[in-house]
Amino acid sequence: MKHLSRKVLLTIAAVGTTASIAGLGTFATFTSTTSATHSVSSGTVAIALGASGAANRLSVSATNVVPGDTIQRAVDLISTSTDGLGSVTLTTSAPTTTSLLDTDATNGLQMLIDECSVAWTESGSSPAYTYTCSGTTTANLTTGTVIRSGATLSGLSILTASGTAHLRIKLTLPSTAGNTFQTLSSVIDYSFLGTQRTATNR
């Protein structure tokens, strides 16, 4: 009986040794790690109009307009965007007070917009302002109806870099406007939309 017990113990010990060797083979692996970080921040698209005075005359009304008259209003369009803009569009409407002045595409008010490379020189007294440019003038919007939807303002300085675009908005009542245009009123709303530049690699 003693001899048999000794054999059993030896067999168990041999099995345990084999398991230990197998375990060493499973966990003996080579490893290497490395890491890196970088930050990502998003840009902004932000435009605004000049606060008041010669930087924004759009709130100044025009009265007693007759055929052939011209209404000039200066306004600064300011971009504080982190990049130049892909486009700037203008939508005009007359949601509260409308008439033939804004609905007649031929004889109603006609609008054009241009930009001066420096601030416009303002002359005249309110509301009969006129403007001259001592720098370079760029045509942004050709003459057409006062009511526009998503009209692109081309050639703006703020399309390539943030800053201020000095605009002059000129409205003209054509000389062809007849008696049906007497005693009319329209209130024109101006809405500028700045859109980001084209996506690219950064």
Residue 163, pLDDT score: 95
pTM: 0.82
Residue 28, pLDDT score: 77
Length of the chain: 202
Tell me the C-alpha distance between 106 and 90, whole Å.
20
Residue from 167, 78, 151 nearest 114 by CA: 167
Tell me the C-alpha distance between 157 and 115, whole Å.
9
Residue 118, pLDDT score: 98
Residue 48, pLDDT score: 97
Domain ranges of the chain: 47-176+185-196
Tell me the C-alpha distance between 39 and 132, whole Å.
47
Residue 169 in tokens: 């908005």
Q: Which residues contact 60 (CB under 8 A, 6 or more apart)?
A: 73, 126, 127, 129
Q: Which residues contact 62 (CB under 8 A, 6 or more apart)?
A: 71, 127, 171
pLDDT along the chain (202 residues), means of 10: 43 47 64 95 96 95 98 98 95 98 98 98 96 98 98 96 96 98 98 95 90
Taking each continuous run of H as one helix and of E as one strand, the counts in the chain are: 2, 10
How far is C-alpha 178 from the chain's CA centre? 40
| Contact of 74 with 120, CB cutoff 8 Å | yes
